[in-house]
Structure 1
């Protein structure tokens, strides 16, 4: 993707994307989830296995995100109830989730945003974390 002035670095692109998001900190994400916001974990399986999960968050691999959350799509999750849904996407440290939230906004999910600092910020804030269930663990790992 290029701007009118030519190519941009990923850092410039990320800065532009974040300028259009109302990013939230961990405490705010926790409070919004309690009020019905959908927390979406786009981390890959090895990170979920290593660090655990945020209770109540749905796990959606990044490469499936738009298909699973598009309220008009055939492959949407039951939680993808409409374009007014508040969605807080998180990755491990809050970089990929900014790009993911921007992509969701381009689909018309205007209340999509991301968690500043990602899962690591959530855990550092002392918010609830559970271990990954067996079905989320790589084959051959123990419980």
Structure 2
């Protein structure tokens, strides 16, 4: 039996290209925003992607809405390329879908999340240890 949340995630991914770690890294090099939505405790346990913006899930829409008064300076308009990162790529799919509903039509998420990024051997860091 498929759960309701599984159906929700599947719908959020319909017709959306989800880049893998290498492609996401290249996109960031071109100016895409990598946005890590994991809670602080999870980032401390798993590590972080250097240069990713940390915007926890509970304030994501407010910080990235280009028309909102609580947006970050990087939230420049609807053409902004955003790649949302969570631990394994499930919560990020839902978050990216929410951003698309705000008008950020290029919002997507990292296929496999931080776990896939680290498994690909891409740079990570722990706040107390620097780059790995």
| TM-score, reference length from structure 2 | 0.92
Question: Which residue in 1 is equivalent to 2:110?
Answer: 115
Equivalents in 2 of 1:65, 1:129: separation in Å? 22
Equivalents in 1 of 2:99, 2:127: separation in Å? 26
Question: Which residue in 1 is equivalent to 2:39?
Answer: 44
- Where 1:89 maps in the other structure, the secondary structure is strand
Equivalents in 1 of 2:47, 2:4: separation in Å? 32
- Where 1:72 maps in the other structure, the secondary structure is coil
Question: Which residue in 2 is equivalent to 1:140?
Answer: none
- Where 2:118 maps in the other structure, the secondary structure is helix
Unaligned runs of 5+ in 1: 1-7, 134-143
Q: Check if 1:19 corresponds to 2:14.
A: yes
Aligned CA RMSD, in angstroms, stands at 1.4
The aligned runs of 1:44-63 (5 Å cut-off) are 44-63=39-58
Equivalents in 2 of 1:49, 1:11: separation in Å? 27
Shift in Å, 1:116? 0.6
| TM-score, reference length from structure 1 | 0.85
Moved segments of 4+, more than 2 Å? none
Equivalents in 2 of 1:51, 1:44: separation in Å? 11
Name which one, 1 or 2, has greater alpha-carbon Rg: 1
Unaligned runs of 5+ in 2: none
Equivalents in 1 of 2:5, 2:111: separation in Å? 17
Shift in Å, 1:20? 3.2
Shift in Å, 1:132? 2.2
